[in-house]
Amino acid sequence: MKITDLLKKDGINLDVKASNQEEAIDALISLHEKVGNLSDVAKFKEAILAREEKGSTAIGMGIAVPHGKSDAVKTAGVTAITIPSGIDYKALDGNPSNLFFMIAAPNTEADTHLEVLSKLMTLLMDPNFSKKLVNAKTADEFLAIIDEKEAEKDKENAAKAAPAAKKVSKIVGVTACPTGIAHTFMAAEALELKAKDLGIDIKVEKDGSGGAKDVLTDSDIADADVVIVACDKNIDMGRFDGKKVIITSTKEAIHTPEELLNRATSGNVDVYHFTGTKTASVSTSNETLGRKFYKHLMNGVSHMLPFVIGGGILVAIAFLIDTIAGFGTSGGGNFGQMLPLSAFLKSAGGTAMGLMVPVLAGYIAYSIADRPGLAVGFVGGLFAANGNPALMGATGPNFPWVNALLGLEDAAPLDGFNSFIGNFAFTNNGATVSGFLGGIAAGFLAGGIIICLRKLTAGFPKSLEGIKPVLIYPLCGIFIISVLMSFILNPVIALINVGLSTMLTSLQAAGLIALLGLILGAMMAIDMGGPINKAAYVFGTGMLAQAALDPSLGTAAYISMASIMVGGMVPPVGIAIACKLFPNKFTESERETWITNIVMGSSFITEGAIPFAAADPGHVIPCTLVGSGVAGLLSAIFGCTLMAPHGGVFVFATVGKWPLYILAWLVGSIITAVMLGLIKKPVNK
């Protein structure tokens, strides 16, 4: 396949009049539409802009290569324009851009077009070639220049593949960028061209979106004097153990290849030592502390997201089935599991959602400390999700020490140390669940624990290196995280829960129903399934139980439960609305979950908002808190009541004054969305 198979004559427009980046993008997209590459122009433009938000695709030397991979692309293709006067496209070298190629790739596994695209990227590294294209007068001349250069390059590659005399220096490299389309191949070409000028033998592996090209073999690596790793994402580094390695970025490879190659041939390169983990970040030397924190956090969030979405939808389906079966008004606390099918789906969904906090913590730790952090992070996340073990009700001969803690007769007394462990590490009623906020803390704690253990064991004999990742790190790490979670973090949460419960009971007793509705609604949106959320929910269900025994409590109990559920329904729906109204404030993957969040919010599954809150808690949580608080307040003022403890829209048949209830829900959701649009930073900031 030739470049001109993807770049058609009708996809070229020369001497375009454009004054800014957006006008250039629109001109390129219109050419894609003209040649029939797109099924949805607006959706493809979203993909292009989302890529630009991550960093400009202007690579310098007057060239910009905007690109996007999207379901809106029917056929892979390239369009091109020239703007001889140049525009500011935020190029890496600060110069204006005047030659533009836009790559449209379908969101499929097929990668036939990638070789052609990589060839185009490498050709553009020749400044004379780029200059000829900018000066071309017609589309035919533009294509002829490309054909001529492509033929020359093919001839060159054929000669390169022929056996060659052994050079003085042998260098190998790897290039990789997040999208694997443009910068990956341009960095490789820059290194290869400059190496040829300097008489250096080099082979570069290109880790593109369609898989690795020119993969380095074991013998390639063994024969190499130096390895250049120019990557903007994690790659397998274990194969370079014991080799001299230069770790840099694609940007440096594109703009300063000679400097990198001179450094490689100078011999002044440190030997890389593999740490026993499969991946290593290769572009973090200049990262700020805040950027590192965000990167680790997002690694956990991205792995957690499938559990939230898959589990949440299954639970919502369980509610739907029970509603269709007629249990919307009679299911009570068992709503969602009144039939074997609904019970199975609710169990499956609940199991998946039960894993989200451990996965969040585990992969935060993995990002910080690689594979040894996983086990420690998962255990910390389990403690955060489930709380300390609740064995205080397990009395009897199998647990005589529990009888002693409870002060039962004929129980053997415990010494002071065991009494301390029993009272702090084992609590009743799940009062020590710390939720996703505890999971975030557990993930960072776990990563820090492993890093500390590595430093403490750095002086161990080499003969013990093999047992560190399989014995020392998991044994010591799991013990330390268990102690920290059980004796410090979770007990602190338990004290907070007790205080919250006391406050809520006092407000109810004082008849401050509107204020109670405000607080209950807001509590549902602070940690979304965590201890504060659960404290409000347990208070509401407890009020329902008391109302069944004491009818005088009925109205207050039902108003409280209504405020709780509407407060829990606001965060996912408010975020979904914000994704549509303010798309530049969210990543592409976040925007794609808006329908899922509508479903989960409507089903009273507040956890749908957790990935957003975990990724940006400082901005998201205040917005959801205010929106949910207003919804809870309005519900209480309107006198809306609810007799079911769960179900969302599926139990609206039990809601008193349901039109006003929906109004409160919508007002709270819109407030959340507008606040997110006002205070949340654009994703590229």
Residues with active-site annotation: 67, 177
In 40-138, alpha helices (H) = 41-54, 112-123, 127-135
Tokens read off for 227: 């390895």
Whole-Å CA distances, 435 to 1, 160, 284, 541: 54, 58, 30, 19
Tokens read off for 676: 């997110």
Distance of alpha carbon 123 from alpha carbon 127, whole angstroms: 9
Q: Report the SS3 class of residue 445.
A: helix
Helices 617-638 & 658-679 angle (0-180, nearest 10): 160
Amino acid sitting at position 539 = F
- First CA to last CA across the chain, in angstroms? 39
Quick check: 191 and 253 in contact, CB under 8 A? Answer: yes
Buried b / exposed e over 390-403, threshold 16 CB at 10 Å, is ebbeeeeeebebbb
Quick check: 316 and 605 in contact, CB under 8 A? Answer: yes
Distance of alpha carbon 392 from alpha carbon 404, whole angstroms: 10
All residues at 6 or more sequence positions from 465 whose CB lies less than 8 Å from its CB, including other chains: 276
| Exposed / middle / buried, residue 160 (Cβ in 10 Å: 0-12, 13-18, 19+) | exposed
Whole-Å CA distances, 414 to 239, 394, 403, 427, 487: 54, 17, 10, 17, 19
Distance of alpha carbon 305 from alpha carbon 560, whole angstroms: 31
8-state DSSP, 65: -
Beta strand ranges found along 61-191 (DSSP E): 63-64, 67-70, 77-87, 97-106, 170-176
Amino acid sitting at position 552 = S
Whole-Å CA distances, 121 to 29, 64, 250: 19, 11, 13
8-state DSSP, 654: G
Amino acid sitting at position 295 = K
